[in-house]
Structure 1
C-alpha cells in the first residue's frame, strides 16, 4: 500500500488468547471505517503486563482461526514479536508509518479500559503524530470526560473527529464509538481454562469455538 492513500485499522494486544471481545472490536471498526486493511499486531513482551502464557506461534495460529471464522480478512504484523525487549505502541506506530508512507490513514483501535490508562503509555501524546485512535466503550468503562484522567480528557476534547476525518486524513484524531455488548478479559478466560470442569461451557462462551478447540488440542493454559 506504500504510496497509495487508504485506511488501515490496527489492533494490537497480547491475544493470550484471542477472545470474542477482540473480534467484536475489530468487527465494529471494520463496519464503521471500511478500512483497506485490518492489521493485527500481537505483542512480543508487553511492558505493562505479566509474562505471556502462550508462545507466539500459538497466539498467531489462534488469531488466524478466530478471524477466519468471523470472515474478517486481516493480516498479522509480527514486528512486536520480533522486537527485543519491551513492546511500546509508539515504536510500532512509527514503524507502520514508515512502511506505509505519510498519507495513509492509520487508526489504532482500543477499548475504553485502555483509554482510561492512556497517560501511562510511553510518549502517549506522540501517538497522535502517527495515527488516529478509535475507541469503543465497553460495559463498566465510561468514555465520559469525568471518567478519564484529566490529561487524557483534555487531549481527547480537542481531537475528536468524524469517521470521515479518520478515513481521509493520516493521523491526529479520536473517534469514540458506541459500547460493545462484550465484557471479557483474557485473565478470566485463562482462569476458566485452568479448571477442566468448567473450561468447556464458560470459555466456550468467551472465545470462538475454533480457538477453544485449538487450545484443548495443544493443552494450552493448563499450568
Structure 2
C-alpha cells in the first residue's frame, strides 16, 4: 500500500519562535509539498537550560508565527504534556503508532542540529519512524559532519519526491537556507532592549512585548 499523506514535523523549544524556525518550515513546505506541517513544542528539553516562556505562551507565539504558512499547520502538544524529559525518538514512536504505517513523516532540523544528531538518544532509530530532512546555510560542508551522521545521510540520501512517497528511513540535506538565527541571541537582545525586528515575526514580537517576556 502506498503513502496516504505526508506530514513535515518541526520540533523545538520555540523560546521564542523566530524567523529561522519559520524559514526552515517554509523551506521544506516548498520543497516537500507536505499535506501538513506539524509543530512540536518541547516540554522539558534535556540538552538545554530551563525554558523562559510558558508552554501556553510558546504555543500562542507559534500560532502567530505560522499563521501565513501555505499548508495546514497543526500544533502537537504531546511533548509538553509528557512528565519526563522530551526525546525525539519517543515522540516519533508515539506519532507513528498514532498515525499508522502509511504516512510519510519528515522530521525537519537545521544544520546546527544536524551537527549534534549523533548525541541524540537512539538517533539511528529515528529513521525507523521518520525521514530526517536537514537544511543549512549556503556553503555548508558535509565534511564537517560527524562521520557517523555523514555516513547515514550518504547511505539514505533521497529526493523530495522519494521522501514524500515513502513512510520513513531516508535523508535529505538542503544547503541553500540562508538564515542563521538563535533564540539565545534573541533573548539576550530583548533583555538589553536591542532591536530584534529582523529576527522575529512581527506578531510574535508584539506578543513578547505585550506579555513582557524575556525581560529578566
Instruction: Normalising by structure 2, report the TM-score.
Output: 0.96
1:205: how far off?
Answer: 1.0
Q: Counterpart in 1 of 2:203?
A: 210
Offset from partner CA, 1:53-109 (integer Å, 9 cap, x none)? 100000000000011145553000000000011100000000110111001100000
CA distance in 2, matches of 1:30, 1:167: 11
Q: What is aligned with 1:49?
A: 48
Instruction: Figure out how many residues of one structure are paired with residues of the other and give that number.
Output: 215
Q: Would you say 1:220 and 2:213 are equivalent positions?
A: yes
1:142 is the counterpart of 2:140: yes
Q: Which runs of 4+ in 1 moved over 6 A?
A: none
Q: Please, which moves more after superposition, 62-71 or 50-59?
A: 62-71
Contact 2:36 2:71 in 1 (8 A): no
Distance 1:90 1:168, change over 3 A: same
Output the CA distance in 2 between the equivalents of 1:190 and 1:70: 24
Which residue matches 2:90? 91
Structure 2 match to 1:124: 123
CA distance 1:105–1:4, change in 2 (3 Å): closer
Match of 1:170 among 167, 171, 175: 167
Q: Secondary structure at the match of 1:84?
A: coil
**Distance in 2 (alpha carbons) for counterparts of 1:149 and 1:178:** 17
Deviation at 1:142, TM superposition (A): 2.3
* Structure 2: gaps spanning 5 or more residues: none
1:1-223 alignment, distance < 5 Å: 5-70=4-69, 73-138=72-137, 142-144=140-142, 146-196=143-193, 198=194, 202-223=195-216
2:6 touches 2:35 (CA, 8 Å); kept in 1? yes
Contact kept, 8 Å, 1:67 with 1:73, in 2: the verdict is no
Structure 2 SS opposite 1:60: helix
Note if contact 1:119-1:151 (Cα within 8 Å) is conserved in structure 2. yes
TM-score (norm 1): 0.93
> Which structure 1 segments of 5+ residues have no match?
none
Question: Cα distance, 1:115 vs. partner?
Answer: 0.6
Q: Distance in 2 between matches of 1:77 and 1:83?
A: 12
